[in-house]
Amino acid sequence: MRTALLLLSLVAAAIPSPAAVTFAIPPRASGSKDAPIVIEVFGDFQCPFCRELHLRTMTRVIDDYCSKGKVYVIHRDFPAPMHKYAPDAARWALACASIGKYEAIANTLFQKQDAWSTNGNIEPVIASVLTPAELKMVKQRMITNKAEIEAAIQSDVALGAKDHFSGIPVTKIYNKGKIVSVTTGVISYAILKRAIDQQLAK
């Protein structure tokens, strides 16, 4: 009996509790880190121009270049002061990133921007993508890992602040680690495609 209890205690100790699971926010990125071209996009989920850039341009770049290992797209949170619900949207997106759902959530936040940007009711938008179990996990992580989530947002903001952005979105293109262009505002897919192809040809 004593041996059986000891074995049960050892088994229980070997199983990590949900609270013991390490929280980590993976890079909010698409494509291969080894891609020669890196595109860094700073914006916020409440910005209509960021929405246009994401849905009309960056999703096509992801499909046409990231999927082929040619471009690595990094998404950075840079909430504008006038967008009161943008920080909350970023928090939701980062918590979802921790369970591997960033891209789906980012797309949905932009697609349904009109549904939440006037009242800040973001949870129903998130719930439309996640399972009930995933939603419960994300909500818990937003509470228990609030400090890590805020730190990730502030890290992105600090990166952007060093460049003294005059507006958003901002798109920075790197070729083999060197900045080759910085653009503020919406870029059409045709123009960005031309810029990418020119850099790939070098």
Neighbours of 33 (CB within 10 A): 10
* CA–CA separation, 159 and 161 (whole Å): 6
Could you identify the residue written with the tokens 């979802």?
Answer: 96
Residue range 14-58, pLDDT digits in tens: 444 444 457 888 999 999 999 999 999 999 999 999 999 999 999
* CA–CA separation, 28 and 136 (whole Å): 21
Our measurement of the distance from residue 55's CA atom to the centroid of its chain's CA atoms, rounded to an integer in Å, reads: 14
Q: Say if residues 39 and 73 touch (Cβ distance below 8 Å).
A: yes
Model pTM?
0.86
- Go through the domains of the chain in sequence order and give each one's CATH number: 27-200 (3.40.30.10)
Q: What's the token pair of residue 43?
A: 């914006």
Residue range 90-119, pLDDT digits in tens: 999 999 999 999 999 999 999 999 999 999
Half-sphere exposure of 96 (CA within 13 A, CB side): 27
Burial of 82 per CB tally in 10 Å (0-12, 13-18, 19+): exposed
Strand partners, 182: 172
